Amino acid sequence: MLLAGLGLSVVCAVGALVAAVGVVAMAFPGRPEPWAVYLLRRAAAAAGWAAVAVYSLGLSGVLLSEHGFNNGADSIPAPACRDGFDAETRQGLSHHRSSYLPLRFDCVRDDGTVYSSEPGYVWMNGATASLALAAALLVIGAGYATEIRARKAAAVS
């Protein structure tokens, strides 16, 4: 399952790169008409693929942390909550909480305070949300551009 998440991330990253090349190709002569609509669609595809790539990368991290918990000797509390943290931070560690939307793997102490096992989930959640929003806005923009073009063609006829 973990390799599938990383593989999905790689496939989506390649898809984002291919879509980005399509966006850059719009700058060269011989581009399809109406070029603005194609540009918006290709940019939306690039942003969408990139959002899925970033999310699946973070999802793999959460799955890996979950897999490390209660999986053999020295696996409780979760290794993600212990490894790389000083003894003062780990003091009173009782359990963890994980979430797939938004991505997070939080470590909980006996007194109820929480610390994140991986601060990188913050930028992954932000990047995923921003890229998904950009993709949605670009799709809406492409639809709007198509509608305007259709109305202009109808007005001329």
pTM: 0.79
Nearest to 41 by CA among 30, 28, 32: 32
Average pLDDT along the chain, 157 residues, taken 10 residues at a time = 69 79 77 78 89 90 81 70 77 84 87 83 93 96 88 82
Residue 134: the pLDDT is 96
Q: Which amino acid is at 128?
A: T
Residue 75: the pLDDT is 63
The count of other CB atoms within 10 Å of the CB of residue 85 is: 15
8 Å CB contact between 107 and 81 = yes
Annotate 93-111 with DSSP letters as a single string. Answer: EEEEEEEETTEEEEEEETT
Return the SS3 of 5: helix
How is the chain split into domains, by residue range?
Answer: 2-74+121-156
Residue 137: the pLDDT is 96
In angstroms, the CA 87 to CA 15 distance is 43
Residue 54: the pLDDT is 92
Residue 73: the pLDDT is 61
Using CA of residue 138, residue 143, residue 145, residue 146, what is the dihedral sign? positive
